[in-house]
Amino acid sequence: MRSFEKSYQLFDRASKVIPGGIPGHQSPTLLVFGSSPCFIERAEGSHIWDVDGNEYIDYMCGYGPMVIGYNHPKVEAAARAQSTLVDTCNLPSERYVELAERLVGLIPIADWAIFGKNGSDVTTYACRVARARTGRNKIVMVEGSYHGIGAWCISFTTGITPEEQASVLKFDYNDIEGFTRLIDENKDDIAGVILTPFRHEAFHDSEMPAAGFLETVRATCDDIGAVFIVDDVRAGFRMHMGGSLEKFNVKPDLICFSKALGNGHPISACVGSESMKDAASQAFFTGSFFTSSAPMAAAMATLDEMEATDAVQIMYDRGEMLKDGLLDQADAYEQEVHYTGPEPIPFMTFATEDGWDRSKLFCEECYERGVFFHPFHNWFISAAHTEEDIKKTLEVTDAAFKRVKTEMG
Amino acid sequence: MRSFEKSYQLFDRASKVIPGGIPGHQSPTLLVFGSSPCFIERAEGSHIWDVDGNEYIDYMCGYGPMVIGYNHPKVEAAARAQSTLVDTCNLPSERYVELAERLVGLIPIADWAIFGKNGSDVTTYACRVARARTGRNKIVMVEGSYHGIGAWCISFTTGITPEEQASVLKFDYNDIEGFTRLIDENKDDIAGVILTPFRHEAFHDSEMPAAGFLETVRATCDDIGAVFIVDDVRAGFRMHMGGSLEKFNVKPDLICFSKALGNGHPISACVGSESMKDAASQAFFTGSFFTSSAPMAAAMATLDEMEATDAVQIMYDRGEMLKDGLLDQADAYEQEVHYTGPEPIPFMTFATEDGWDRSKLFCEECYERGVFFHPFHNWFISAAHTEEDIKKTLEVTDAAFKRVKTEMG
């Protein structure tokens, strides 16, 4: 049996000096508490080691940021070379211009880019740009969708006033009729519509956009003069290098990126079309570290390496191999599962009505045998995952399915 | 004459692909546009070099983050050693607990800490904690005070709805009577009062707290059961290692830090007293890079070095030397100036009614001769500024005062 002793000793220490111990999406209480680690000691490529020395093939990738491997030599070399010159200073470095030009060259809809630190920074900024562009206030979003911790969108409303959420209208994902009705009833007030490229909420199977859904949103925004915003913070640079909606041949007006852009270095970006640029310059957007150069150098090295190695295709291939293997095993052990999401950002749940116990047991056995999955949140494949990683993973998952079958039938 | 040719070529390129070229507080249009640089190539200790190769003794310190010298060997070594192990991952590393414990040990009012990336992250979080703690909604702040880009507080309201600012009440800085009246009229609704340790708005002389002002705020918050929040993002770790209000022997309930905490590495923190901890755990707070370990290692190395070298005292000493020299020169050239703010975070304006022309001319001559001041925004001293730096600076400012006297009388 693996020991997580040091993890839980540290978690006790954390709980004394940090509200919630580890608050937010990384809370170990959202994993299989007691049977999964709480703290990480080391990460390299597609593997991580917890503070008790247990090694894992990692399928969370830092909840998305790691896309071509932890501690990637080219990315780290670029960041270090830049930080030796200048990182945070009074003014940006040339990297600032280079990265904006790089994104404009890479992303079909992008005529400009602007940089922040958090995904929340740019999703909130995009809403302000939409308001500045249209002179209207309402933002339309999907019920339950996560766009960060901005007061306007957060579903955990402790400390949020009702007024802060008053300008948001919600509809159900993929409900084209409901969306059209909401728009009809409010069209003179709507500044923008914000969507993730597919629905990827925690504690839910992922859902791909229904036929005609994205096209309807695009056409409707054109009709009423509203701004179509894509929150590509989680999915960006895993489905397509030019923004995830390129997979569906639909063109939004603004796209928000973060996570994978710097392979773990802290950076976010909003890009947009030329028609949005004036409005974008009117919405005030600044922060102490928004122009820091080392994460920009890291981002350029990440994009270069991804293009040079066709990293997105690697992630689709590895993701397909994992999916095929897991679905075969589910069949063999007579487990009905839902395997959802695009191959590089998959999620598997057990299609039973008895809650999450099978998912937790499955993940518990995986932690025990050295594979890091998440019971409640979508997973992430990286381009650093090798075929050998997937093979080893499938040996582990075979044992995990077997345990689920044995203990729960 | 110094050339800024490459800076302005790059700014033209930036303007094509970034709304506003360089948006926000670092816009070169807020310096002496045409006579000051737009992009930085290198930074070391207290000196910076722009992209045209011009060297400056720097008095902006990245608008605050640099506190013990750019590219500090101990800070960079700590960050690099940590990033080789793990930076952004699925869970935090042990550094996360260590830094929280370090801040709790260092800051008298702190029984806990929580981490973000931007100053805005933690000022906005602190308001949510105050609401969670009190069950009330109103936040009291100083008219014109800058607490980041959160919708609730931002004075640039493009893209912000009136409702997003509806729960904020404002009073004039140091107006004890006005503050007391505002509280009396709203006391059942007030969740918290947020203040910077002194008033340090751009385009204004800085103002220190009036006698009894901070004590009144503390006593009033106690009376009505509201939370006293200090926004120490800009001043933190320059006036006192234990939070700037320690200088005044006043104890807030929550303190927000960022900028200097990591000597340029991106991190922010909110710390608070034990009585706030339950509420702090209820307000949802998370971000993709909030638990990244390299900036935490950098922060601990920064705090260690500051304590070992008495960095705050060095900044007061250097700041006093600069202040004495500048005031002597102002006298000698018959220029009436206002020299305001604490010694490590000073600001000098020309006390005339003809706008900012003297400040701009003064700064222009300083840029030309290799000293980086700001005409409109407070300056920052660091512990890397040597007596030799100050001496050289005063030679430059002598010439700058002379030019102001010659051209403007």
Q: Which residues of A touch B167 (CB under 8 A)?
A: 161, 163-164
User: Please, which pLDDT band fits residue A258 given cuts at 50, 70 and 90?
Assistant: very high
d(CA A125, CA A116): 9
Residue B26's pLDDT band, with cuts at 50, 70 and 90, is very high
The answer to whether residues A50 and A10 touch, using CB atoms and an 8 Å cutoff, is no
Closest Cα partner for A371 from A315, A326, A306?
A326
> What does the alpha-carbon distance between residue B80 and residue B307 come to, in Å, rounded to a whole number?
21
Q: How far is CA A190 from CA A141, A193, A330, B167, in A?
A: 11, 8, 45, 23
Give the DSSP letter string of A238-303.
TS-TT-GGGGGT---SEEEE-GGGGTTSS-EEEEE-GGGHHHHHHS----TTTT-SHHHHHHHHHH
* A331-365 b/e (C-beta count within 10 Å ≥ 16 → b): eebebebebbbbbbbbbbbbeeeeebebbbbbbbb
ipTM score of complex: 0.98
Average pLDDT score over residue span B1-28: 97
Q: What is the pLDDT of residues A80-122, one digit of tens each?
A: 999 999 999 999 999 999 999 999 999 999 999 999 999 999 9
- pLDDT greater than 80 at residue A372: yes
pLDDT band at B352 (very low <50, low <70, confident <90, very high): confident
A194: pLDDT strictly greater than 90: yes
* pLDDT over threshold 80, residue B353: no
Single-letter code of the amino acid located at A205? D
Binned at pLDDT 50, 70 and 90, residue A299 comes out as very high
pLDDT for res B354: 72
Q: What are phi and psi of B44, to 5 degrees?
A: -155, 125
Interval A36-61: pLDDT, tens: 999 999 999 999 999 999 999 999 99
Q: What is the DSSP string of B171-227?
A: E-TT-HHHHHHHHHHHGGGEEEEEE-SSB--TTS--BPPPTTHHHHHHHHHHHHT-E
B371 secondary structure, DSSP code: E
Average pLDDT score over residue span A323-335: 98
Supply the pLDDT for residue A352.
79
- Between positions 33 and 62 of A, the ones with CB within 8 A of B are 37-43, 48, 50-51, 58, 60-62
Amino acid letter, residue B357: D
Q: Which of B15, B32, B63, B88 to mutate to test the interface with A (most CBs of A within 10 A)?
A: B88
On whether the CB atoms of residues A200 and B206 are closer than 8 A, the answer is no
| Closest chain B residue by Cα to residue A83 | B71
- For all residues of chain B together, what is the average pLDDT? 97
Query: Residue B355 above 90 pLDDT?
Result: no
pTM score over 0.95: yes
pLDDT at B351 over 90: no
Checking if the pLDDT of A353 tops 80, the result is: no
Q: Which of B4, B11, B18 to mutate to test the interface with A (most CBs of A within 10 A)?
A: B18
The amino acid occupying position B281 is S
User: Which residues in chain B are closer than 8 Å to A132, comparing Cβ atoms?
Assistant: 158-159
Given a cut of 90, whether residue A351 has pLDDT beyond it is no
Average pLDDT over residues B74-95: 98
Q: Percent of chain B beyond pLDDT 70?
A: 100
What is the predicted pLDDT for the residue at A362?
Answer: 98
| pLDDT confidence bin for B38, thresholds 50/70/90 | very high
Average pLDDT, chain A: 97
Please answer whether residues A269 and A261 qualify as being in contact, where contact means their C-beta atoms are separated by less than 8 angstroms. yes
> What is the distance between the alpha carbons of residues A56 and A373, in angstroms, rounded to a whole number?
9
- pLDDT tens track for A373-394: 999 999 999 999 999 999 999 9
Strand partners, B193: B140, B228
Contacts for A190 with CB less than 8 Å, ≥ 6 apart: A134, A136, A138, A139, A140, A169, A183, A224, A226
A 369-408 residues with CB < 8 A to B: 372
Residue B395 corresponds to which amino acid?
E
What is the mean predicted confidence (pLDDT) over A173-201? 98
